[in-house]
Amino acid sequence: MNIEPTQITVQALVRGAVDLRGQGGPLHSGDARDLLDLARDAEAAGLRAIVFMDPDFSPAPLVQTLRRHEFSGRPISLLSGVELNNTVGGLNPYAVEHELMLGGRVISMPTVSAAHRIRNSAPPRGWRSQAPAAHAPGLEVLKADGQLRDEVRQILDVVAAHDAVLCSGGLHVAEIWPLFLAARQRGVTRLLVNDGAAIGLTELRELALFGAFIEVCVQAGLQCGGCLERTEVPMALIAAATTRQTILVPGRTGQDGPGGRFRAAVQACLSLGYDAAEIRQITSDNAARLLGLAPDEGKTA
């Protein structure tokens, strides 16, 4: 059923949301705020958890510091993850192990260093371009014979041992399938497709049926993972993935922090006709299930 998108309704639905796209630093977005600023904004908006990641480094030590000091015993979970780009050694099992030993929860395949992303994408509008050497050469998870690289298999074993989340990053769907199939065979249970809009609806539906969660941006005209979304596109993506496997990704709205981004995203969902239960599922419940947050968890990480 449709709901009148009042400010009170929006605020109520933002409370408990989980942000999987908390940026680790201001280097790319041009935003002058740091992790502390963003964590305070997320807590003030009532978010349940925020995952800090960055294309060029692991925010895990910074997140540990925030958890230990200002956010100790607070009702928001501060989490971290690492993107396996060239600046952290690429497809580096040692970087993965170090991240997870520091309490990280999310391991992403290469994003800005992915060969597919380099070949096919421009940086999101408003993000500062990196020097070509920073993310070259392009990284792929498959060898020339189509088999997974040995280091990728090692990464999957480490992810499985820590029951962490494995993300597809900037890989082509032809790489995602063998990666996810091998991941399942090696004991990885938490799978996330980072950019649902970059995958055909048939493949998207099959990945969701396989048990992967699918990130979808619902805000028309906003930058979401580097592409502009039209209204009918996110609705088709959510229909293909189903609300049970969709995780909402708020668009980048200028200088808005997590609270503002989620308010705009919830407003967009209401305008598209999604009801409160559906919005709660795609903004909070699914992401909490992916991350392994307990039903009553809100302060431990």
End-to-end CA distance of the chain: 35
Q: Is the pLDDT of residue 209 over 60?
A: yes
Decide: residue 143, CB within 10 A, 0-12 exposed, 13-18 middle, 19+ buried: exposed
Structural domains of the chain ordered from first start: 7-122+135-291 (3.20.20.140)
Of residues 48 and 197, more confidence is placed in 48
Q: Which of 238, 240, 290, 241 is CA-nearest to residue 268?
A: 238
Question: Using one digit for the tens of pLDDT, what is the confidence trace for 232-268?
Answer: 788 899 999 999 999 998 876 556 789 999 999 999 8
Averaged pLDDT, 122-134? 50
Q: How many residues would you count in the chain?
A: 301
Pick from 70-74, 188-192, 291-295: least confident: 291-295
pLDDT digits (tens, 9 = 90+) for 137-146: 899 999 999 9
Please state the pTM of the whole predicted model.
Answer: 0.88
Q: Give the per-residue pLDDT at 168.
A: 97
Q: Tokens 């990704």 appear where? A: 249
The region of weakest confidence among 26-30, 75-79, 85-89, 152-156 is 26-30
Q: Which residues contact 71 (CB under 8 A, 6 or more apart)?
A: 39, 43, 78
